[in-house]
Copies of this chain bind each other. A is one copy, B any other.
Amino acid sequence: MNFSSDTAAPVHPAILEALAEANAGPAPSYGADKWTAAAKAALAEVFETDLDMWLVPSGTAANALSLALICPSHGAIACHEEAHIERDERGAPEFYTGGAKLALLPGPHAKIDLGALKIRLAASRPGFVHEVPVCALSLSNLTESGAAYTVSEIAERADLARAHGFVHLDGARFANALVTTGATPAELSWKAGINLMSFGATKNGAIGCEAILLFGEARKFAPDLMARAKRAGHMPPKMRFLAAQMGAYLKDGLWLDLARRSNAAARQLAESLVKAGGKLAHPVDGNEVFCRLPAGAADRLSAAGAAFYPWPDGSHRFVCSWATSDAEIEAAVRLLA
């Protein structure tokens, strides 16, 4: 019963096997290999558009490199006050941008409130030199509360931000959001106004592999991205082993299968928690359940060896992964019954 994090889960076997397949003799270093080319082609197909991309081993690296492309050191990035880039990355955006600010916005379920965004953007005065103007917007889908933005919710926010700068998406759990919304990858990203994104695979079965994707006009940043990745130590010589992960992840829809699996597990767990008297703090749009537990439930689960975290808002967070087994869910259900 490990619901601590989807990063505690093991790697999907197909992804490990892909490493062995990529280990065939010598290959050019630093991304000039055929696996990297194939990963790029696969991403372009999945997203139905030409794109530029780079692979990094962590979401923090993907987010911070992306944001450094679109926000100058003297600008601000609008994001939710609970966003991963604000709360969980030890100031990575500030490091990579050379000291930009995050402009924090409220909103239920860690979705940026549309009205608050409107007000904040209207207050941003690029010509008033004393203040830090908003130069970029960063959205997360799934959000930090496990909710999914719909296509139109993304589009509404991106539309507002366009006049101020580029729009980034933290898609560490993008697959989970896709499965729930039923949107295509293109619809939930560039077609809705996303200019560049962190496309996560790690939380959904990879070893450590996140793609930075540049769409449309943002493709002009590709050389800058290469320079910054290199300079940050995020251009490991044997790139083929990052690329092989991405290739296997996308092949035959594995990534969506895995997301469906973890989403289903989360729904099942959520139902049991509710039946047992718990109250969901947020919609279960993906593989995370935030639940205010009934008295005694947390202790009972912990005593039985279940791993999960108390959350700052008073709820508890349970994360399911592609590897969460029926047995784990059933064991939890039994304990809650």
Contact = CB atoms under 8 A, between A and B. Distances in A.
Interface of A: 2, 4-5, 7-11, 13, 16, 19-20, 23-30, 56-62, 64-65, 72-74, 76, 87-92, 94-95, 97-101, 126-127, 129-132, 202-203, 207-208, 223-224, 226-228, 230-238, 241-242, 307, 323
Interface of A, secondary structure class, is loop
B236 A233 contact: no
Given A73-B98, A226-B129, A232-B95, A2 B26 contact: yes
Nearest to A61: B233
B238 A90 contact: no
A323 B24 CA distance: 11
16 contacts: A2-B25, A4-B28, A5-B237, A9-B26, A16-B23, A56-B233, A58-B236, A61-B234, A73-B95, A74-B91, A74-B228, A74-B231, A92-B230, A207-B238, A208-B237, A208-B241
B236 A57 contact: yes
B92 A100 contact: no
Contact of A238 (B24, B202, B233): B202
A95 B92 contact: no
Nearest to A128: B90
Nearest to A206: B238
A150 B92 CA distance: 37
A99 B97 CA distance: 8
A233 B60 contact: yes
A235 B2 CA distance: 21
